[in-house]
Amino acid sequence: MTTIDELGTELGGLRGRRVLVRSDLNVPLDGDTITDDGRIRAALPTIAELAARGARVVVAAHLGRPDGWPDPRYSLAPVARRLGELLGSKIAFATDTVGSSAHAVVTSLADGGVALLENVRFDPAETSKDDQVRGAFADRLAALADAFVSDGFGVVHRKQASVYDVALRLPAAMGGLVATEVGVLERLTGTPRRPYVVVLGGSKVSDKLGVIDNLLGKADKLVIGGGMAYTFLEAQGHEVGTSLLEEDQVARCRSYLERAEGQGVELLLPTDVVVADRFAADARPEIVPVHAIAPDRMGLDIGPESQKAFAAAVADARTVFWNGPMGVFEFDAFAAGTRAVAQALTRIDGLSVVGGGDSAAAVRRLGFDEKAFGHLSTGGGASLEYLEGKTLPGIDVLDEGKEGHRPFKRRWW
C-alpha cells in the first residue's frame, strides 16, 4: 500500500496540495462535551504531519448514527474545537460536507491549514448499499481534493463513500494510524509469540462468534467474560437469572466448548460473578458462584476468583489480544473485573493489544496509562473482522488498480 511519503513523491510534493483525510473522530459526547478524546488524539499525528508538509488538509469523519440527515446532536463542531486545541491552531469548520460551506472553507485554506467537514453521515449516500449512489457522493468529496489519505481504522471494514469509493477516484495512501493498526494485527495473525491468549468480553456473544470460530485452535487460551459469558454458562447448564442471554446461540456456544476440549484449547469462563437485582450504578452487588445465580438476579461483573484466574491466564502470555469489558465498568461497583484484566495486560512480557471500542474506553476511564499497553486499537469492529479473516474494504481498496495488486488477506499459521 502507498505511504504518505510515496504519495508525496507521486504528486511531486504535498505543499499546496489539497489532501482529503478520512479520520475516525467518532467520540462519545455528553451534550457538547467530549467525554473521551482518545480517537481525536490518535488521528492527530497524520493530520499534523500532512500540515507540516504544507498540505491543505481536509478532514472527513462521522459521529454517531444520524440516519442520513443533519442532526445537531451529531455535529462535529465540538470535535473541531478539540482538534484545534490539540493541534495548537484554529481548525476551519465547514457546516456541510460537500456543499457551499465545504467549498468555501476548502478554497480558503492556506498551505498547512486544516479544515474539518461536517458529519459525512448527514448524507444518506455515505452509507448507501447502491454503488452508484455512493459513488456520486464520492465524486463530490473527491472534487474537494487532489489526493486521499485513509487514516480512520475504525471504519476500514465499511464499504462507504468516504472510506472506499473516494480511494478509487484520487491518488490514495494509508495514513500512519492505519499502518500501525495493520502492522499490529499482522503480528497477531502471522507468527505471534506464544503462549497466545485472547480475552473476549462485551455484551453479546453473537458479535464475537466469527472470532471464536477462527481462533479455536490458533490461540492457546480463550478467556471469556462480560455479558457474553452468560450464554456460555447457560450452555454449561447453569441458571443465569436475568443476565444477558442469547438463547439462539446456546447450542453454538456448547459446540465451541466441545471443540475447545477436543482441540486442547483452554477456554476459561467465570466461576463466580457479581450480581444485582437491577442494572443501576447504585444497585447492591453480591458475589455468588456461577451455579448459584438466583432467578431474579443479573450478572454485571466477574467475581474475585474469576479475576484471579483470568489474570493468571494472562500472566505467562507473550501475546494477548483483549476485546470487550468483563462487566459494566461504567459503574464503580462492577468495574473490578475489567480493571483486573487491564492490570494483568500491563504486566506481561510481550505484546498486549487492547482491541478498541469499549475496551479502550475502559482503560482510559479506569485511569490506566495508555503507554502501559503495547497497542490500543481505535477500531474494535475492524480488529474483530480482521481476526475473523474477513477482507477489509477500506484497506484493500488502497491497492486496487495497481499493477500486481492482490486482495489484502489475513495470514494464519
- Here the cell at position 280 is 443501576
SS3 248: helix
Instruction: Verify whether residue 175 is a known catalytic residue.
Output: no
Find, among 59, 46, 48, 76, the residue nearest to 18 by Cα: 59
Catalytic entry in 99, 210, 350, 381: 381
Greatest distance between any 2 Cα atoms in the chain: 69
Helix count and strand count (H, E) for the chain: 14, 17
- Say if residue 63 carries a ligand binding annotation: yes
- Say if residue 62 carries a ligand binding annotation: yes
C-alpha Rg value of the chain to the nearest Å: 22
- Between the two ends of the chain, the Cα-to-Cα distance in Å is 23
- Say if residue 24 carries a ligand binding annotation: yes
- Here the cell at position 372 is 502501559
Find, among 201, 207, 279, 206, the residue nearest to 243 by Cα: 279
- Say if residue 26 carries a ligand binding annotation: yes
Q: Where are the beta strands (DSSP E) in 193-297?
A: 196-200, 221-224, 266-268, 272-276, 286-289
- Say if residue 64 carries a ligand binding annotation: yes
SS3 141: helix
- Here the cell at position 399 is 491497492
Hey, how many other C-beta atoms are within 10 angstroms of the C-beta on 5? 12
- Say if residue 177 carries a ligand binding annotation: no
Give the CA-trace dihedral at 287, 198, 324, 282, to 10 degrees.
Answer: 10
Catalytic entry in 82, 204, 318, 364: 204
- Say if residue 151 carries a ligand binding annotation: no
Q: How far apart are CA 77 and CA 100, in angstroms?
A: 17
Instruction: Verify whether residue 381 is a known catalytic residue.
Output: yes
- Say if residue 65 carries a ligand binding annotation: yes
Hey, how many other C-beta atoms are within 10 angstroms of the C-beta on 231? 24
- Say if residue 318 carries a ligand binding annotation: no
Name the β-bridge partners of 60. Answer: 22
- Say if residue 121 carries a ligand binding annotation: yes
- Say if residue 405 carries a ligand binding annotation: no
- Here the cell at position 122 is 448527514
- Say if residue 200 carries a ligand binding annotation: no
Tell me the C-alpha to C-alpha distance, in Å, between residue 281 and each of 276, 277, 285, 333, 334.
Answer: 10, 11, 10, 7, 8
- Say if residue 15 carries a ligand binding annotation: no
Q: Is 282 exposed, middle or buried (0-12, 13-18, 19+ CB in 10 A)?
A: exposed
Classify strands 33-34 and 29-30 as parallel, antiparallel or unpaired.
antiparallel
SS3 158: coil
245 contacts 230 by C-beta, under 8 angstroms: yes
Catalytic entry in 8, 113, 227, 357: 357
- Say if residue 53 carries a ligand binding annotation: no
Instruction: Verify whether residue 227 is a known catalytic residue.
Output: no
Catalytic entry in 39, 53, 221, 339: 39
Tell me the C-alpha to C-alpha distance, in Å, between residue 399 and each of 84, 105, 150, 186.
Answer: 32, 30, 12, 17
- Say if residue 68 carries a ligand binding annotation: no
- Say if residue 254 carries a ligand binding annotation: no
- Say if residue 158 carries a ligand binding annotation: yes
Q: Which residue numbers belong to the known binding site for ATP?
A: 208, 299, 330, 356-359
Q: Which residue numbers belong to the known binding site for substrate?
A: 24-26, 39, 62-65, 121, 158
Q: Which residue numbers belong to the known binding site?
A: 24-26, 39, 62-65, 121, 158, 208, 299, 330, 356-359
Catalytic residues: 39, 204, 357, 381
